[in-house]
Structure 1
Amino acid sequence: MKGLILCAGRGTRLHPFSYSQPKTLLPVANQPVLFHCIRKLLEVGVTDIGIVINPSHVQIPECVGNGSQFGATITYIHQDKPMGIAHAVRMSQAFLQKEPFILLLGDNLLMDSLTELVRGFQEKRSDGVVMLSEVKRPQDFGIAEVREGRLISVEEKPARPKSNLAVIGAYLFTTPIFEAIDSLQPSARGEYEITDAIQAMIDRGLVIAHRTATGKYTDVGTVERWLEANRWMLARELGKEVEIGKDSVVLNCEIIGPVLIGNGCRLENCRIGPYVSIQNGVQLLNCAHIENSILLEESCLQDVKWKLKDSVFGRSSHLKGELEKHMASVILSDKSSIHLPAGGGDEA
Structure 2
Amino acid sequence: MKALVLAGGSGTRLRPITHTLAKQLVPVANKPVLFYGLEAIAAAGIEEVGVVVGATHASITEAVGDGSAFGLRITYLPQSSPLGLAHGVLIAREYLGDDDFVMYLGDNFIVGGITGLVDGFRRDRPDAHIMLTRVSDPRQFGVAELDARGRVVDLVEKPQEPKSDLALVGVYLFSAAVHDAVARLTPSRRGELEITDAIRSMLRSGLKVRSSLVSGYWKDTGSVADMLEVNRLVLESVEARFDGTVDEHSELIGPVVVSHGAVIERSRIVGPAVIGQDAHVLDSIIGPNTSIADKCRVFGSEIQHSIILPRASLEGVRCVESSLIGQDVAVTAAPGVRGTHRLVLGDHSKVRIDV
TM-score (norm 2): 0.93
SS of the equivalent of 1:328 reads coil
User: Does the 8 Å contact 1:124/1:209 carry over to 2?
Assistant: no
Residue 325 of structure 2 corresponds to 313
Q: Which residue of 2 aligns with 1:235?
A: 236
5+ unaligned residues in a row in structure 1: which ranges? 343-348
Separation (CA, whole Å) in 2 of partners of 1:155 and 1:111: 26
Across the two proteins, how many residue pairs are aligned to each other?
340
Checking the alignment, whether the CA contact within 8 Å between 1:116 and 1:211 is kept in structure 2 is no
Partner of 2:81: 81
Shift of 1:325: 2.3
* 1:299 equivalent in alignment to 2:300: no
Pair 1:122–1:185, CA change in 2 (3 A): same
Question: What is the deviation of 1:45?
Answer: 0.6
Give, in whole Å, the separation in 2 of the partners of 1:281 and 1:124: 49
Specify the code of the residue in structure 1 equivalent to 2:307.
I
Q: Shift of the alpha carbon at 1:156?
A: 0.5
Pairs within 5 Å for 1:335-346: 335-340=348-353
2:213 maps to a residue whose letter is T
Q: Is the 8 A contact 1:8 1:79 kept in 2?
A: yes
Q: Give 1:125-136 correspondences, 5 Å limit.
A: 125-136=125-136
Which stretches in structure 2 are left out of the alignment for 5+ residues?
241-253
- What secondary structure is seen at the aligned counterpart in 1 of 2:66? coil
Distance, in Å, in 2 between the alignment partners of 1:10 and 1:284 is 30
In 2, Cα distance between the equivalents of 1:208 and 1:341? 57
**How many percent identity over aligned positions?**
36
Shift, 1:146, TM fit: 1.2
Map of 1:102 onto structure 2: 102
* Mapped contact 2:7–2:54 kept (Cα < 8 A): yes
What do residues 219-261 of structure 1 show as CA deviations (whole Å, max 9, x unaligned)? 1111111111111111133485111111111011111111011
- Name the SS for the 2:162 alignment partner: coil
The answer as to whether partners of 1:14 and 1:221 remain within 8 angstroms in 2 is yes
Task: Spell out, residue by residue over 1:70-128, the C-alpha distance to the aligned partner (whole angstroms, 9 max, x if none).
Answer: 11110000110111100111110111111111100011111132123224313432111
- Deviation sequence 1:26-72 (CA, Å, 0-9, x none): 11111111111100101111111110001552111111110111111
Residue 341 of structure 1 and its aligned partner are, at CA, apart by 6.6
Cα separation, 2, equivalents of 1:43 and 1:119: 11
**Aligned position for 1:290:** 303
| Counterpart Cα distance in 2 of 1:99 and 1:341 | 58
- In the TM superposition, residue 183 of structure 1 has moved relative to its aligned partner by 1.2
Residue 300 of structure 2 aligns to a residue whose secondary structure is: strand
Given the alignment, which residue of 226, 232, 244 partners 2:258? 244
Query: 1:160 deviation in Å?
Result: 1.2
How far 1:7 sits from its partner (Å)?
0.6
On the 8 A contact 2:146/2:153 being kept in 1, the answer is yes
Q: Which amino acid aligns with 1:262?
A: G
Tell me how far apart the structure 1 counterparts of residues 309 and 58 of structure 2 sit (CA, whole Å): 20
Change in CA separation of 1:324 and 1:267 when aligned onto 2, cut-off 3 Å:
farther
CA distance in structure 1 between the partners assigned to 2:151 and 2:354 by the alignment: 63
Q: Which residue of 2 aligns with 1:331?
A: 344
What pairs up with 1:1-348 in 2 under 5 angstroms? 1-54=1-54, 56-147=56-147, 148-238=149-239, 240-287=254-301, 289-304=302-317, 306-321=318-333, 323-340=336-353
Shift of 1:163: 0.9
Letter in 2 for 1:215: G
Aligned counterparts of 2:273 and 2:337: Cα–Cα separation in 1:
25
Report the aligned-residue RMSD. Answer: 1.5
Task: Tell me: CA distance 1:31–1:56, structure 2 relative to 1, closer, same or farther (3 Å).
Answer: closer
Shift of 1:12: 1.2
**SS in structure 1 opposite 2:57?**
coil
Shift of 1:326: 3.8
Q: Distance in 2 between matches of 1:278 and 1:338?
A: 18
- Residues 159/238 of structure 1: CA separation in 2 closer, same or farther (3 Å cut): farther
SS in 1 for 2:274: strand
Cα shift at 1:324: 4.2
**Within 2, Cα distance between the matches of 1:341 and 1:207?**
60
Distance 2:299 2:28 in 1: 23
Contact 1:141–1:157 (Cα < 8 Å) also in 2:
yes
- Output the amino acid matched with 1:337: K
Q: Which amino acid aligns with 2:44?
A: V
Q: Which residue is equivalent to 1:345?
A: none
Work out the CA distance in 1 between the residues paired with 2:125 and 2:50. Answer: 24
Inter-partner Cα distance in structure 1 for 2:57 and 2:122? 35
After TM superposition, the score normalised by the length of structure 1 is: 0.94
Q: Secondary structure at the match of 1:181?
A: helix
Moved more, 51-60 or 232-241: 232-241
Runs of 4+ more than 4 Å apart: none
Letter in 1 for 2:350: S
Alignment-mate amino acid for residue 324 of structure 2 = V
